[in-house]
Structure 1
Amino acid sequence: MVKRNCDFIGKSLTDISEATGISLSYLSLILSGKRTNVSLGVLTRIGAVLNLSIEEVQFLISQQIKPAIPKKEKMVRDNAEQQEIIEQTLILLEHFDIEKLNLLKSKVQEKSSSDFQLKEYYLLWIDGIVATRNNLYQEAFKFLDRACNFKAVTSNEKRMLARIYGGIGSTYLALSEYKLALKMFKKSLHIWYKGNEAALVYLNLGTLYRRTRKYSNAIRAYTLSLDLGESYFKTLAYSGLGQIYMDLNDMRSARSILLKGYAYSKKNTDKWGCQDILCNLGQYYKLIEQLHRAEFTLNKGLKYAQELNAARSKDFIRLEIAEVHLLQNRGEKAVQIFNEMNREVSQSGDLLLLGSTFLLCAKKYITTFHYEEALQYLNKSYMALTGIGATVEILECCKLLLECHLRKHNSAEVQFYRDEIQKIKNKLKLKIMSIE
């Protein structure tokens, strides 16, 4: 047995890997005892190369008696665990499992930089993800901008880097910095153009092009996401396509796409994305004035959003529900939602959502000709939305402010908002031209 152990220790990982056909990374995990429940087939192959029985191989693994590994191969072995953690992280991101993600983060924090060469960048990446999930985009950008400063070598590292650049693009998109967002999305696709990583980038590109009214580009982007993505990525792509057709007032196409997406989401085991497809489907029913069906569909979407802890989707669905209440002359229910959201959204710092909430509150008062109350909410909306630059939302806000001041005969304010509307239109044109 001693001689056999010596023979074992005298072999390198490469020797064993080549002889057994087992990858270096997987082999290193087995022989270090980090991979349990190894199949009998794998144990047999290792035993055959080392001239050991299965029981002897299991014993050596349990004792963590490792082969002598040259310095270069030790880096590969250490790197194997790094690659596995990155791969696990990418999988967890697809399922939005923040709890398990934090456990992985804690595991990496305990490691030295020599054991986990990308430790600094990995931790910054995770912090950026968490900040993004909490709609803290400025904070997320600070983390992600530093997280991308490494050279990706392996496929998992490239996927990680692509995700980081995609995340930076998402923060720019949320801040309506479309040119910078487009640049980051292109970088991400240059690094990794396959699978769910690319599907996610194309989803964001679809949103970018839709927000800048480049609908043909948006349709192409969402269609590519539909082709490349799996699971809920397809659901989200259907949702985006449905939104485009609603923007274009093509209700027949919108209905067809959204129902197709909803049918797909029901068959899919991963329910993420159901909240968005139901939100857009509810919006469709609202636009064609089927208000009871809209309310039912939106409440169903709200239930999914709550179960999936999709905070931002939940808030936008609540806004849609509040608007349906207004259209049904149920102002008290709408006000109740507004009050709840004002408290919650004010704490989150999501300026777009905050501004949209105030905007909808104002619409309630405009419909009842209470212009003084409407102005209070419009001013709050204006203050929030100016924090994210020129957007279609701030343009709508200024138009409503102009309408209210015209009704109140406030000549100075009327002139101010006329000028402001023109400035915003010009800025929006420049933003759109910048991504030609």
Structure 2
Amino acid sequence: MLVAGLRAALRSSTRPQVLSVSSNGYATEATFDTKEFRLHRLDQGPSTSVKLTREDALQYFEQMQTIRRLETAAGNLYKEKIIRGFCHLYSGQEAVAVGMRCVMRPQDSVISAYRVHGWTYLMGVPPLGVLAELTGRRSGCARGKGGSMHMYAHNFYGGNGIVGAQVPLGVGVAFAAQYQGTGGVCFALYGDGAANQGQIFEVYNMAKLWGLPCIFVCENNGYGMGTSAERASANTDYYTRGDVVPGIKVDGMDVLAVREASRFAIEHCSSGKGPLLMEAVTYRYSGHSMSDPGTSYRTREEIQEVRSTRDPISSFKEKILNSELVKPDELKEIETRVKKAVDEATLKAKADHEIGLDELASDVYASPLEPMVRGTVPWSPVAHKRVGPAVNIK
């Protein structure tokens, strides 16, 4: 039922119109039609006719392919018990992150929950930095201290473990952008499961009252932790749940549709019109986390059908091949290069070491306000440290 709804509600045209052709006969730019965007409290939305250049086509394909490979590697490392603790994979949702990232400006920020390995890569961390962080090694982007759920980069504020708690933080980041006059916006991402958290409704209100440049993004992948959206939410039109906050619903399996909706949202928020809520309808192939097989509340047939009919990478690949923006051997070369890069990063991450005890207490404060806390400083080594007089125990 869910898959049939996805196909019926989100199907977009794959017939491209070639706009320009290079001397070798291949297209340099083409236009595609996306499905109509559904709007809430908006007079008009993004255009459904979108242009795509050859360069962008290659870039988007490589980025989505890299995220998919990273998640495959992460899943294997978890099964090998090299990644411990929690691990939430993003496979199937690549078009959402890539579509937003490609229109973000240098002054824009993003904050998300714990399904962020792909976002960490998109925000500038190389595959080794992601995989080494997952395995708790010192080459990780947070020196192995954050693990799967707590990754950070420039203008990327995580990677947060408490369900929905990143959304108020994102509104704070948007408030900082407004206060400091940077002209930037903040994408605050959360899932359909977190959409029912009360704190999210509180900050819808605050953001609208203060006219903050915050783009609330509900990544609706159909299921929370073991529960379908229909069973958990009385109103599954998440893009309308901001009440007076304008909303837009987009096909999250189409990278071009997400790109145009994100571009529209940035223009809306940065022009002083206040916040906007965007619902990206997508799908996750794995369970909620690696401890969830993901098949107790949905069928394997449903997952396979989405993979074969709605996969964001396969669908995009078909579009750009049909429009002759790229050649098959070019995409094959990208797939081979990405696989090699991720495989090499995986081996390096597995061979890397954890940080020593002398670094355990570092990175607590960026700018400590007190010279000492409880008789020590954050960067003081903790190994073999004796506190107080020695006690002889017999």
Give yes or no for TM over 0.5.
Answer: no
TM-score (norm 1): 0.28
Q: In proportion to residue count, which structure has more strand?
A: 2
Name whichever structure is richer in helix by fraction.
1
Q: How high is the TM-score relative to the length of structure 2?
A: 0.30
